[in-house]
Structure 1
Amino acid sequence: DAKVAAGYVFHVGKLASGSVAAGDSCMVKVDYERRHKIANNHTATHMLNLALRNNVSDDVQQKGSLVDDEKLRFDFNNNKPVNAKTLGKIEKEIQDDIAKSLGVYYKDVSLKEAKEIYGLRAVFGEVYPDPVRVVSIGKSVEDLMSDPKAKENYNLSIEFCGGTHLDNTKEAESFAILNEEGIAKGVRRILAATGKLASEAIARAATFKARVAKLDGVKEAAALEAQLGELKREVDSVTMPTVAKSEIKDLLAKHSKRVVDMGKKAAAANKKKAVDEAVQFVKAKAAEGKNACVLKIDVGADTKALTEAVDASLKAEPSFSMIVFSSDDGKKKKVLAYAGVSKDAIAKGLDAPKWVRESLAICGGKGGGKPDRAQGQGSKIENLAQAMAKAEELAATLG
Structure 2
Amino acid sequence: MRASEVRQKFFDFFKSKGHVIVASAPMVVKNDPSLMFTNAGMNQFKDIFLGNREPEFLKVADSQKCLRVSGKHNDLEEVGHDTYHHTMFEMLGNWSFGDYFKNEAIDWAWEFLTGELRIDKDRLYATVFEGDEKDEVDRDNEAAERWKNYLPDDHIINGNKKDNFWEMGDVGPCGPCSEIHIDLRSDDEIAQTPGSELVNKDHPEVIEIWNLVFIQYNRKADGKLTSLPQKHVDTGMGFERLCRVLQKKKSNYDTDVFQPIIQQIASLTDVKYGASDDSDIAMRVIADHIRTIAFSITDGQLPSNNKAGYVIRRILRRAVRYAYTFLEVRKPFLSGLLPALIETMGDAYPELKAQKGLIDKVIHEEEESFLKTLATGIALLDKIIDETLQKNYTVVDGKVAFELYDTFGFPLDLTELILSEKDLVVNRKEFETEMEAQKARARNAASVETGDWVVLKDDNEEEFVGYDFCETEVFITRYRKVKVKKKEQYQLVFNITPFYAESGGQVGDSGYIKSGDEKVNIIDTKKENDLIIHIAQKLPENLESRFNAVVDADKRRRAANNHTATHLLHRALRKVLGDHVEQKGSLVHPDYLRFDFSHYQKVTPEEIRQVERLVNADIRSNTEVEEHREVPLEKAREMGALALFGEKYGDVVRTIRFGASVELCGGTHVKATGEIGFFRIIGEGSVSAGIRRIEGVTADKAEELVYSQGDLLEELATLVKSKGQLRKSIENVINQNSQLSKELDGMMQNYMKIEKQSIIDCARDVNGVSVITRMVKPELGSNLKDLAFQLRNEVGDDMVAVLGAEVKGKPQLAIILSDQLANEEKLNATELVRAIAKEIQGGGGGQPFFASAGGKNVEGLQKAIDMASELIEEKLA
Using structure 2 for the length normalisation, give the TM-score.
0.23
Q: Which has the higher strand share?
A: 2
Q: Which has the higher helix share?
A: 1
**RCO higher in 1 or 2 (8 Å CA, sep ≥ 6)?**
1
